[in-house]
Each structure stands twice: as structure tokens, then as C-alpha cells.
Structure 1
Amino acid sequence: MPDDQSAIPARDAKRLFAGLAGAPAILLAVSGGPDSVALMWLAARWRRALAQGPRLVAVTVDHGLRPEAAREARDVKRLARSLDLPHHTLRWTGPKPGTGVPAAARAARYRLLAQAARKHGATHILTAHTRDDQAETLLMRMLRGSGVAGLSAMARETERDGVLLTRPLLDVSKAQLIATLKKARIGFADDPTNRDRSFTRPRLRALMPMLAAEGGDTRNLARLAARIARANAALELLVDGAEHYLALKSEDNSGAGFDAALFAVMPEEIRVRLLKRAIDRVGHEGPAELGKVETLLAAMDEALVGTLGQRESKLKQTLAGAVISVAAGRIRIGPAPPRRARSR
């Protein structure tokens, strides 16, 4: 890639979308800001250079949180038409939460994008997350005490609601995208919420120049996230092997539990992941929080000390819609009964 202050040349833009030429259709998430407008312009230029390629459909989500959003969606539509791309505006309707608005808006946005992708026969949704976004995500998760998986930050490609969510610009800086748009003389919107310090991400963004002066620039932070992602992938392979080993050594084929003694001698990180994986598989209240899984493992370890010391020690707890028990040298994890509705 070129330096952060220069436009992205066509040869590098082509590499951004490598592997996507065989898709039947691709949905482009375009808010109107510089990152997503650059994504749309680069993707359209890439598609024009192909003899045959996927249909591109641009989509803007209006969250109904800012009066300027409708005008920005219309501006995206005009630009999309100039690039010979169809455009659709999706609206997040209904009541909005009093707190946690960014997270709720993000969930609504991805839900609407997945619905639009299925409607248009798109196998991929392209978002314009940049290297800057990756660095900020890493910092946010570090401050929240995330585990190795969380510190991997954003992957280039993940599956969501049956569609592949792809981030082709993760190695590209925001400055490069703005330089690219300026060279092409393409305008873009300025969302003031990106500077609103009542939200976490803009506060961290304001700290980035000071971090960069100490060596913590976006390039180094994104490189750290990539290295953690590499370590996380290796750990997941080890967990796969440990899970298979426990299944082979199980006393029965029910898949309902595993031998406590074999589980007890495994490294703590592997045990945490095995436990979380089993709970997420059978629970019915969403993914288990890492901190709660760690607390549960500590309680299990106390019970296992008694079990392996030949004295009867039992444990039975529920977490994330799963019931976890330790008894007679076995760990069992199964679905918990539904919670009863509280009477008023």
C-alpha cells in the first residue's frame, strides 16, 4: 500500500477485493462518510475493470437519530447512480433505547443489512472498517478486559446471519481513503457524532496522537491485533483437539459430559474455552460472558479438588441458559429449564 497521505492506485485497489469476483452479488454498506464513500467508489472502479463480475448494490441505513441522515442518504444515492450502482435506503424504525444507543444502532444496522443482502441475493456485505477502526477496537477491548479472542479485534471476514461480512479496508488508513476521494474530487458527509466525546470511541480517537507519539500508532496497534488473532486461531485448534480427546475418552456417547480428571489437568485457557464452548452450544440465553465462565471454572476447580481427592464434592450452577454440574468424577453440561415468568 502507498503511504498514508497518498491516494490508493488502481493496482492496489484491485488487491483489496481479491477473491470477491466470483460472488453473484455484493452489498455495499455506505453511510455517506469518507470511509464508506471511498469503499463504494473503489468497488465500482474494480467492478468496471472486470469482464464479468458480481452485481454491486449500495445500501444506506438511516438510524433516525440525526436529522441530517436523510439528506446524506440522498447524497449517497446520487453518487451511486453516477457510478451506475443501484441504491436503497433502509430505516431503523420504532422506539430507540435511552442508553446503549451505539450498540443498539449497530445491531439494528447489521440486521437490516443482512435482510437486504438476502433480498438481493448477495453473498457478501462489504463494510468500510479501516485500520484506524481496528486500532480503536483493540483499545476499547483492552480497557474492558477482553480475553484473547476479543483482543483479536475485527476479522477480515466473518459469517453473520447466513451472509459473509467482509472488511476489505482493514489494512488501509482513513487518511488514504480521504486522499483517494480528494484526488477523485468526490465529496462526503461529516458525521459530528464521530467527535462526540460522550461516546467511548471518539474519546479514544482523541487520544490517538498521544499514543502514536509513544509508538502506539494505528499501524502498530493493528499489527498487534493481527498477531493476537493468529494466537487465537492456534488456541482454537488446541481446543478442537482437547474437545475431541475428551469425547473419545468419554464413558458414554451421549455427549452430555466428560471426565473431570482429564479436564482438570488441561491448561486453564483451554479449560475456559472448552467450558464456554459447551455452554454456548446448549444454553438458550446467548453467549456466556467470559468473566462469568472464569468464575464458574474457579468454583468447578474447588469441587474437582474434592472429587479427585476421593471425597464426594458436588457443584450445580446455571449460566447463560445452561446447567453445569460436577459429581461422581464427571462434568455435565446441559440446557437449563426455561426461567419462569415473574408474577406481578
Structure 2
Amino acid sequence: MIPAHALDVLAPYPRLLLAVSGGPDSVALMLLCAKWRDQGIPAHAPDIAVATVDHGLRPGSLAEAEQVGAWARRLGFTHHLLTWSGEKPATRIQERARDARYSLLARCARETGAAAVVTAHHADDQAETILFRLTRGSGVAGLAGMAPVAGLDGTALLRPLLGWRKSALIDICAAAGHPFFTDPSNANDAFARARLRKLAPALAEMGLDTDALLRLGARAARADAALDACASELRARALLETTPESARFDAGALRAAPLELLQRVVATEIARLAPQAQIRLDRLERAAAALAAALCAGKTLRLTLGGLILESAPRFLALRPAPRRRTTPPEAGDSS
């Protein structure tokens, strides 16, 4: 049984929105939260509601979502049924469904005043995520896996069960005599994660089992935190001036820094100045390498990334918004 303190991360939030699909993981989360609330742990329990997303990708999904609503109300929770409407994509279905799901959950949280969305990701999910990212060549941050506390469109995203195995969650459902649904897409070879699951026994024989992947993730998380701390110190030491729209750093302070730290300083500023920018790691790496080479050579370099101009000069590195592209033809005689 999962101890009560597993849910301590939820206590500071006055209102929570549980993401419950109807699978054993999220049903167990709902059961645990009901017990946590009923036993008075903590003394001032948060107000908890449940949300289920109907992706509309297979027959019966709406009926399942409605059944989850009945289960939630039986446990004393308000239930919100969220629908991913409109035409569905033909490619990258799971990725886009996940994005739509998180967007719907974040919007529901804002509309209902929930301070956090809670998901039932567990240790097996974490190991699978680390393996998936390993196959994609992720950096240290990616190999750290999912964080127990993260952000989601201005709302907190909480994963209180990352330290617990899926088998323990199934046991909770069994002990309560509570039914759950099984998603057939989990065994569909059309999806990369399903194919990875089928490779798990062979990988485990070679030593790359769930425990090994979790150790890798924990070590990557420690390394990532250390690198972030060093990058923060470098940023503070090198910063010359900052505004809501720009930043300027001392080139000398950055010149001797390891490339990874320079890259993280640049990434932090891009996230601050252009929070909507989605930049692939390989593009960030190329930009950071080019800036580092220019800094070391004392040359001037200007490049655009994430809607910002990054300019390296002998004495400074600056970031500022790129000019907006002209959307209409210039007037006759306009040579600007």
C-alpha cells in the first residue's frame, strides 16, 4: 500500500483537479485522494475535483468518460467531462492528443480555480519516458524524466506517484474492489511507446530494466540541478543589464565558461524574453556553439532564435526581439 505521505506534495494547494482517465493508475490516484481526504490528512484537505478527457479517438470513449464521472461522484468528487473536439490529426496522434489533453486540463483548472492539476504518472511511466528520450538522444534534462512538480500553462502540474510502481496501483484498485478500463492503444504497435514496452524483457536481460532506468533518471536529475546552479551563478556574474525585453552580458565572463553553461544561460533568457518559443535542443546547441566560437575569437555574430536576435560582440552578448517581418508589400518609393 502507498503510504499517506506520498500525497504530501498536494497539501499546499487549496484546490486540486485530478486527471482521471479510468485506467488503473488514475483510478488508484482517485481512491488514494478520497482516503487521504476522508482520514483528515492533511487537517485542512484541499478541495478536490476530477476531470476526464474524451479524446474521441475510438468507439466507447465517451461512455467510459461518463462512467468515470459516476465513479468520481460516488467518491464525493465533482466531475468535469472535457472533450477534444474538431478534426483529429492523421499523424503523431499520441503526441497531439497529449498536448490537447494538457491544454484542456489547464483550461479547466483555470476556469474552476484549481491551483494544480494532478496526474497519476508512476515509476514505470518514468522509466518508459527515460527510455523513450534515450532513444531520441535527449540531453541531461530530458534523461532526468518527469519532475514531481512542474508548470502547466500557469498552473502547477503535480505527479505524486512517481516513486511507486504500477503493480502497487493495480493492487489498490483490487483491494477496493474498484473496476477500471484498459486502453487498447497501450498495446498498439503503431505507437513507439507500445513497441518499447515489447522490448522491455530483452532490455532487462541486458541490465536495462526499470530500476536501471530510474537510477539513470535520478543521476541525470542531480546533474541537471548542478548544471542549473552553475548556470545561475554564471548568469549573475555576467549580467550587465536586463529589461523585460532584452538582456546584455559581459563577453569576458562568458568566454571562459563551459559550452553547456553558456547554452543554459542563453536558454534561460530565451525562456524569459520569448516564453512561447518552442526551440529544439539541436537548434539551441548549434546556436550556443556558434556564439561560443564568436566569443572566443572576439568576433561579431548575429543570429535569430526563438523570435530574438542574439548578438555576440567582442565585449558583450545581447538578446533582444527580432524586428517583425513585413506582412504587406512596401509602398512605391519606400526603400526602407
**Does TM, normalized by the shorter one, top 0.5?**
yes
Q: Taking every aligned residue pair, what percent have the same amino acid on both sides?
A: 43
Identify the residue that residue 334 of structure 2 maps to in structure 1: none
Q: Give the secondary-structure state (helix, strand or coil) at the position aligned to 1:235.
A: helix
Alpha-carbon offset, residue 330 of structure 1 = 2.2
Identify the residue that residue 259 of structure 2 maps to in structure 1: 268
Identify the residue that residue 130 of structure 1 maps to in structure 2: 122
Ranges in structure 2 where 5+ consecutive residues have no aligned partner:
330-336
User: Deviations 1:113-168 (Å, cap 9, x if unpaired)?
Assistant: 11212222221211011111101111111111111111111000112122211111
Q: Give the secondary-structure state (helix, strand or coil) at the position aligned to 1:57.
A: strand
1:230 to 192, 216, 222: 222
Tell me how many residue pairs correspond in the alignment. Answer: 325
User: Deviations 1:57-102 (Å, cap 9, x if unpaired)?
Assistant: 1110001111121111122122112212221210011222222221
Q: 1:325 to 1:210 in 2, by over 3 A?
A: same
Q: 1:232 to 1:127 in 2, by over 3 A?
A: same
Ranges in structure 1 where 5+ consecutive residues have no aligned partner:
1-7, 308-312
Distance 1:301 1:232 in 2: 21
Distance 2:36 2:197 in 1: 31
Alpha-carbon offset, residue 197 of structure 1 = 1.2
1:24 to 14, 18, 36: 14
Alpha-carbon offset, residue 304 of structure 1 = 2.9
User: Deviations 1:238-288 (Å, cap 9, x if unpaired)?
Assistant: 1111000002xx3x6666322223211011211111122223333476133
Identify the residue that residue 320 of structure 1 maps to in structure 2: 306
RMSD over aligned Cα, in angstroms?
2.0
Q: 1:253 to 1:324 in 2, by over 3 A?
A: closer
Alignment of structure 1 residues 107-146 onto 2, 5 Å: 107-146=99-138
Distance 1:24 1:274 in 2: 34
Identify the residue that residue 339 of structure 1 maps to in structure 2: 325
Letter of the structure 1 residue corresponding to residue 36 of structure 2: W
Alpha-carbon offset, residue 48 of structure 1 = 0.7
TM-score, with normalisation over the residues of structure 2? 0.90
Q: Give the secondary-structure state (helix, strand or coil) at the position aligned to 1:103.
A: helix
Distance 1:21 1:253 in 2: 36
Letter of the structure 2 residue corresponding to residue 273 of structure 1: R
Report if the CA contact (8 A) 2:10-2:158 is conserved.
Answer: no
Alpha-carbon offset, residue 44 of structure 1 = 0.7
Q: 1:155 to 1:256 in 2, by over 3 A?
A: closer
Report if the CA contact (8 A) 1:280-1:287 is conserved.
Answer: no
Report if the CA contact (8 A) 2:262-2:292 is conserved.
Answer: no
1:89 aligns with 2:81: yes
